[in-house]
Every structure is written in C-alpha cells, then in structure tokens.
Amino acid sequence: MFSNSCIKLTMRSQVGDPMVTSYYSINSIIALQMQINSISAELGSERRKLQNILKSHQEQENEIRRLKSKSDTKRQGIHYERLSRSAAQIPPSDRVSI
C-alpha cells in the first residue's frame, strides 16, 4: 500500500500559466527529500570551510600588518641610531647648536 501511494499536486509554474496537475509517488518524494538533505549538509560543510579560510586569511593579513609595523619601527630606530652616531663623530668645534 505504501509503495503505491501518490500525492496529487496542482500548480502553475508562473502567474497566468494554466494549472497543471501532477502525481508523485511517495517513494520519489522521499528520495528527493533525501537528496535535498544531503545537499544541504554538504553546503553547510562547504560554508564552514569557507568561513575557516576567510578567518585564516584575516589572521594572516593581521600578522603581516603587525610584522610590517614592527619592521617599520625597527627601521626608524636604526635610522635614529645612525644619526646619533654620525652626530657623535662630528668634532665639537664643527657642531652647530640649535
């Protein structure tokens, strides 16, 4: 009895189209529902993978910014150190006071 059961569905594909009646077996509806569930689960998994990739990418960008900032600060410190050493090498008689 269950395998012979059908569902009658009457609908139109677009507004203004004629009504169309179709009959679907319960088994085909169950099979379609299983496919939908499987695809939904797969999409959820892919969405989580994409979110992890985006999070990792953002973390990498933040790390690059942090390292660049650290490098720029270190470079400025080296520049000031060179200026200080250069100034120290000028004889006191040749130095200009500001």
50 inside domain: yes
User: Can you tell me whether residue 6 is helix, strand or coil?
Assistant: strand
Q: How many domains does the chain have?
A: 1
98 inside domain: no
The distance between the two most distant Cα atoms of the chain, rounded to a whole number of Å, is 113
DSSP H helical ranges for 1-98:
26-89
Average pLDDT, the chain: 81
Above pLDDT 90, what percent of the chain? 36
Q: Dihedral sign, CA of 43, 47, 50, 56?
A: negative
Query: Is 7 in contact with 20 (CB distance < 8 Å)?
Result: no
Residue 40 predicted with pLDDT over 90: yes
43 inside domain: yes
